[in-house]
Structure 1
Amino acid sequence: MAQLVADPEGNPEAVAGKVVAITGASSGIGEATALLLARRGARVVLGARRPERLKELAVRIEEAGGEAAYLPTDVRVRDDVTALVQLARERFGRLDVLVSNAGVMPVSPLDELRVEDWEAMVDVNIKGVLYGIAAALPVFRAQGAGHFVHTASTAAFRTVPTQAVYSATKHAVRALSEGLRQEAGDSVRVTTVSPGFTRTNFTDGVTDPAVRAQLTERAEAIAMDPSAIARAIAFAISQPSEVDVNELVVRPTAQS
């Protein structure tokens, strides 16, 4: 397991004291982001569907001297996302950043007609981001500042067989983020982070056995550590308030 060891690359002052809520925080990119930001002095509010993993992560952060709160959160449920934002405000007095990171990828050929998988991707990958906007935007407006960070994918730039629906949802995240940025004005920042192959449990949700095997093999060959995405998110958050890093694409060097 990752530990809250000293961070030689960071600028702790840039994120120290910020209150950051993260969905999909129990593993992978969300977990790595929580650990890195906590190490740099942020107060993190963790949301995901697995309460035992959230509790374990919060304990690790607190035992290392960080501050963390957590709440079981299913981003398909608007009230859950609203409650996560409210927890940040109740526990720490404000919310500075919402990282909408939760995502699913049960990809398959369209001919298989796995409509429930399509619906899951729409509900989590698109509606989960929208529910985050609905929960946090009024808070950011009232505060006069705030930052949305949305996890998209390199699939938002390139569609391949078996990934049509997944790719469509990530295209939608980019479109929503850009529209939000244009409407946000000079007080709310919006960043889209698009990871390539990353060592997470994303293949666990792939219901097509052949596609799952193919993706697993590819990931084992080239995938990067989720800490690479965490550093990209930290970079965007750490910019001066008048600087908005709108889009970051991070992929393994070996990925075409």
Structure 2
Amino acid sequence: MTGSTTSGGSTPAKTVAVTGASSGIGEATARRLAADGHRVLLGARRTDRLERITAEINESGGRAAYRRLDVTDAADTRAFVDAALGAHGHLDALVNNAGLMPLSPLEALRTDDWDRMIDVNVRGVLHGIAAALPAMRAQGSGHIVNIASVGAYEVSPTAAVYCATKFAVRAISEGLRQESAGTVRVTLVSPGVTESELADTIADPVAREAMKTYRAVALPASAIADAIAFAIAQPPEVDVNEIVVRPAARARAA
């Protein structure tokens, strides 16, 4: 299977694992990569959604499988990567997409929300790297795509902790890139406001109402999936390091 090509015939078909694949950017990415001819393994906690998405991909001629995944569990993340390795013998790319965004002012002291964001947004990415990196180094190639946010570049009210987690993902990605030159490619994709369920995790009423206005202009998740597909499709000698995607109608950096 390593030598096969995508449906377009120009890019070798790859095995790609996608976390947070039950909705939003993760779902759109899995669908786009499968449409491009890649083999995709979808991971998330909501297996009912994964089952439906996987079935729809396969029914449309793609190649997809799924596995329940909790990225906050290092052992579960290793098992997720091992499932891709066991099925195909190699893992060409891992998309670390799972994330949470329960915004609130710091003075609200929603420490449980802070802990959840750190666990999913930071530890989840590290668990993905820890699971995939040894196999990629052993096979002599690989690609890790980390999904951050425009919040990795600036901070806004109610988003201090969320932005801190995305600053961390940006730093981790750059460190991994420097340490992996010539073996594992590293791409950081930072979406601006995008249609997703992230806003549904906002419990703070002030932040939730502010987000409704903020998200009036939003990108479709497919736009971010296109950026991820672009990075993955590049030839081995090309390493696309950072992609920032914002709505054209939004003037502010975020």
Q: One fold, TM greater than 0.5?
A: yes
Deviation string, structure 1 residues 147-186 (Cα, Å, up to 9, x no partner): 0000000001110110000000000000000000000020
> 1:239 is matched with which residue: 222, 234, 251?
234
Query: Alignment partner of 1:45: what SS?
Result: strand
| Residues 144/47 of structure 1: CA separation in 2 closer, same or farther (3 Å cut) | same
Corresponding residue for residue 166 of structure 2: 170
Q: Aligned equivalents of 1:36 and 1:198: distance in 2? A: 16
Instruction: Measure, in 2, the Cα distance between the counterparts of 1:59 and 1:91.
Output: 17
> For 1:13 and 1:99, how far apart are their aligned partners in 2?
23
For residue 236 of structure 2, give the secondary structure of its aligned residue in structure 1: coil
d(CA) in 2 for partners of 1:24, 1:142: 26
- Deviation of residue 218 (structure 1)? 2.0
Q: Which residue of 2 aligns with 1:199?
A: 195
Residue 227 (1) aligns with residue 231 (2): no
* Residues 22-77 of structure 1: per-residue CA shift (max 9 Å, x gap): 00000000000000000010000000010000000110011011111111101111
What aligned pairs does 1:12-161 form with structure 2 within 5 A after superposition?
Answer: 12-13=8-9, 15-161=11-157
The answer as to whether partners of 2:22 and 2:50 remain within 8 angstroms in 1 is yes
Amino acid in structure 2 at the alignment position of 1:233 = I
CA distance in structure 1 between the aligned counterparts of 2:183 and 2:144, rounded to whole angstroms: 11
Per the alignment, in what secondary structure is the counterpart of residue 189 of structure 2?
strand
Aligned partners of 2:8 and 2:127: how far apart in 1? 30
Deviation at 1:90, TM superposition (A): 1.1
TM-score, with normalisation over the residues of structure 2?
0.94
Q: Secondary structure at the match of 1:12?
A: coil
In structure 2, C-alpha distance between the alignment counterparts of 1:12 and 1:173, rounded to whole Å: 33
Which residue of structure 1 aligns with residue 3 of structure 2?
A: none
CA change 1:132–1:95 in 2 (3 A) is same
The AA in structure 2 aligned to 1:20 is V
Q: Structure 1 residues 120, 13: closer, same or farther in 2, change over 3 A?
A: farther
Q: What's the secondary structure of 2:188's corresponding residue? A: strand
Letter in 1 for 2:224: I
Query: Is the contact between residue 7 and residue 37 of structure 2 (CA under 8 Å) also seen in structure 1?
Result: no
Displacement, 1:17? 1.7
Letter in 1 for 2:218: A
Runs of 4+ deviating beyond 2 Å: 10-16
Pairwise CA RMSD: 1.2
**How far apart in 2 are the matches of 1:164 and 1:185?**
32
**Counterpart residue type for residue 114 of structure 1:** R
Partners of 1:212 and 1:15 in 2: CA distance: 42
| CA drift at 1:79 | 1.2
Q: Is the 1:13–1:40 Cα contact (8 Å) retained in structure 2?
A: no
Q: In the aligned structure 1, how far is the partner of 2:172 from the partner of 2:135? A: 19
8 Å Cα contact 1:14/1:239 also seen in 2: no
Q: For 2:146 and 2:64, how far apart are their aligned partners in 1?
A: 21
Change in 2 beyond 3 A, CA 1:192/1:143: same
Distance change in 2, residues 1:11/1:59 (3 Å): closer
Is the 1:69–1:91 contact (alpha carbons within 8 Å) kept by the matching residues of 2?
A: no
Q: Distance in 1 between matches of 2:168 and 2:83?
A: 28
Q: Which residue of 2 aligns with 1:253?
A: 248
